[in-house]
């Protein structure tokens, strides 16, 4: 299997600063794992717009239930994404995980298959 370069980054909200940082280094990265994008399904396309358009994306929003049930108050939260170069697209398929805290893809190259998982595990406080 060919070597792939992978970057994992906690965005603490996908914004112009994160986009600029990724644009500067993306020529060397095949796969990008993003946590805490703070984007909904409706707004997640802005990740692969502009300088990151060389990537395909699978995104999972953690805010969809909240957005459907109520007016969003407070700050946004959660969201994970896996970006992979478009030249890998024929070898990549999304993996359904069933959790808003996890996004995964399966990559098949030659005779190997790998699962790449982007997972967001928030800190859980021990309350007494």
Cβ-based neighbour number of residue 85 at 10 Å: 17
Q: What's the mean pLDDT when you consider all of the chain?
A: 86
Collapsing DSSP to helix, strand or coil, 128 comes out as coil
Q: How far is the C-alpha of 83 from the C-alpha of 41, rounded, in Å?
A: 15
**pLDDT over threshold 70, residue 64:** no
- What residue spans define the domains of the chain? 6-119
**pLDDT over threshold 60, residue 116:** yes
Residue 1 — very low, low, confident or very high, per pLDDT cuts 50/70/90?
Answer: low
Beta-carbon contacts of 102 under 8 Å, excluding residues fewer than 6 positions away, are: 60, 80, 117, 118, 119, 120
Higher pLDDT, 92 or 44: 92
For the chain, the 3-state helix, strand and coil shares in percent, each to the nearest 5, are: 25, 35, 40
**pLDDT over threshold 90, residue 85:** yes
Superfamily of domain 6-119: Endonuclease/exonuclease/phosphatase (3.60.10.10)
Beta-carbon contacts of 25 under 8 Å, excluding residues fewer than 6 positions away, are: 7
What is the pLDDT, as a whole number, of residue 58? 94
């Amino acid at each position: 299997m060919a070597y792939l370069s992978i970057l994992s980054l906690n965005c603490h909200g996908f914004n112009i600063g994160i986009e600029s940082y990724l644009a500067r280094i993306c020529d060397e990265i095949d796969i990008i794992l993003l946590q805490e994008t703070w984007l909904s399904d409706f707004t997640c396309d802005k990740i692969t717009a502009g300088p990151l358009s060389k990537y395909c994306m699978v995104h999972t929003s953690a805010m969809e239930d909240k957005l459907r049930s109520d007016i969003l108050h407070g700050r946004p939260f959660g969201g994970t994404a896996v970006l992979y170069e478009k030249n890998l697209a024929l070898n990549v398929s999304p993996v359904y995980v069933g959790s808003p805290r996890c996004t995964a893809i399966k990559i098949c190259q030659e005779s190997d298959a790998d699962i790449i998982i982007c997972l967001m595990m928030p800190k859980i406080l021990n309350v007494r």
